[in-house]
Amino acid sequence: MDLSPFETDNSVSCRLASQIPDVCKTEDCCLGIDEAGRGPVLGPMVYGICFCPVSKKGDLKNLKVADSKTLTEAEREKLFQNLDEARNYVGWALQILSPNTISTSMLQRTKYNLNALSHDTAIGLVQYALDSGVQLKEVYVDTVGPAEKYEDKLSKLFPGIDVTVRPKADSLFPIVSAASICAKVARDRVVKGWNFAEDLGEVDADYGSGYPNDPKTKAWLLKYLDPVFGYPQFVRFSWSTAQTLMDSKAVTVHWDDDEEDGEKSAQRQKNRSMLSYFGASAGGNDQNPTHQTHRFLTERRLTSLNTL
């Protein structure tokens, strides 16, 4: 599994895929869908599909695939290796949703919640398989939201394909278990080898499970919270855990609006108005030669203004 396309820029989402087995282009196939990393506040969410000919369901079952959450990391890696060695009849594809993609989607003006993002990602992966020539006849999905509604939605989008959506599908259908393993292996590798674009020095990798209720994860979030610029892009800043810490530990900013005078309102709250950053400095045009501009500003080519 070559993760370099995502590692090159882990601020955006990325699709990875195996070669399509020739037999999958000529025989009726089944496909499973599952995800890894829906709940953590750290790292990406990875959606995976796995597909094989219907005639090979028995062979897939003999590989002893199981729900990835019931397996150790070593067991998942071994099973993924088995799937890779069965590449003459097993194919897979992954969509890695970066933490930045997840958070900006959820916080944009037109709300795009995690369920909608999950549905659209799964739909996109099924369409990718069809566009690649896979002869899909059966699709099995681990549900997100009400199973009946999701099944009806997918059935209407993909007429002629028998769609089955169930809770805990990764423990019911081996093809979904295989997708679960692919997704979980990819997420584990991405998280373990995360390339921090921010200048954080030697990063403490002991961040626990990444789930919001994990004490190690909370401690890591506190340690790497910048009071002005927030979190590195490894963090899903839309999660309530991250937002609560920013509200309590980060610098308060008053955003001017049309309802009242911004400068007076900011002074009343013992804060600085955003407008103050656009005025001429008291020292004139001379810049402090020892001052280093934050990378957030330099990457976006933002500079201070002395006049408007």
257 assigned binding-site residue: no
- Rounded-to-integer distance, Cα 286 and Cα 278, Å: 15
- Rounded-to-integer distance, Cα 28 and Cα 30, Å: 7
Q: Are 13 and 96 in contact (CB under 8 A)?
A: yes
DSSP letters of 163-225? EEEETTGGGT-HHHHHHHHHHHHHHHHHHHT----S--SS-----TTS-TT-HHHHHHHHHT-
- Rounded-to-integer distance, Cα 234 and Cα 101, Å: 11
Q: Are 206 and 220 in contact (CB under 8 A)?
A: yes
67 assigned binding-site residue: no
- Rounded-to-integer distance, Cα 148 and Cα 161, Å: 16
Residue 301 structure tokens: 């080519």
Largest CA distance in the chain: 78
- Rounded-to-integer distance, Cα 52 and Cα 27, Å: 9
Residue 145 structure tokens: 């939201």
Distance of CA 202 to the CA centre of its chain: 24
75 assigned binding-site residue: no
- Rounded-to-integer distance, Cα 99 and Cα 287, Å: 36
Question: Which among 93, 94, 124 is positioned nearest to 20, based on CA atoms?
Answer: 93
- Rounded-to-integer distance, Cα 128 and Cα 95, Å: 11
List residues forming the annotated binding site for a divalent metal cation.
34-35, 142
Annotated binding-site residues read: 34-35, 142
